[in-house]
Structure 1
Amino acid sequence: MDHDGVLVPAPVPPEREPGLAGRPAPRRVVAAWGLWDWGQQTFNTVVLTFVFSVYITSAVAENETVGSAALGNAQAWAGVAIALLCPVMGTFADRIGRRRQLLGISTIALAASMAAMVVVMPDPGWLGYAVWMLAFASVVSEIAGVFYNGMLLQIATPSTFGRISGMGWGLGYLGGLVALVASLFLFVLGKEPETIRYVALFSGIWTAVFCLPLLLIGPDTPPADRDAPRFSFLGAYRDIVRRIATMWREQRYLLHFFLASAVFRDGLAGVFAFAGVIAAGSFGFSQEEVIYLGIAANLVAGVSTWLFGRFDDRAGSRVLIVGGLGVIIAAGVGILLLDGTAAFWVCAMVISACVGPVQSASRALLARLTPLGLENENFGLYATTGRAVAFLSPFAFTVAIRIGGAQLWGILGIVVVLAIGLIAFLPLRVPAHAARGGDARAVTS
Structure 2
Amino acid sequence: MGSQSVRYIFVIFLSLLLSNCKSAKVSKQLEKSLTSNFFDHQFTGLLVYNPRTKDTIINHNGERYFTPASNTKIFTLYTGLHYLPEKVPAFKYTVHQDTLIVKGTGDPSFLHPYFKDSSALEFMKNYKAIKLVTDNYNNEKFGPGWAWEDYDRYYSTERSAFPLYGNVVTISNTDDLDTYPKFLKSQTTYTLLDKRRDFNANNFYYKLDGKTSTEVPFVLDTTIVKALWNDLLPNRVEFIPYTTAKTDQVFYSIPTDSLFKRMMHVSDNFLAEQILVMASSTISDTLDADPIRKSILENQLKDLKQKPKWRDGSGLSNYNLFTPLSLVQVLEKLYAEIPRQRLFNFFPAGGVSGTLKNWYSGVDGPYVFAKTGTLSSASTLSGYLLTNSGEVLIFSFMNNNYNTSSNKVKEHMQAVLEYLRDNY
User: TM-score range with shorter-chain normalisation?
Assistant: under 0.3
Higher strand share: 2
TM-score in terms of structure 2 length: 0.25
- Structure with larger RCO (C-alpha < 8 A, sep 6+): 1
TM-score, length of structure 1 as denominator length: 0.24
Larger % of helix: which? Answer: 1
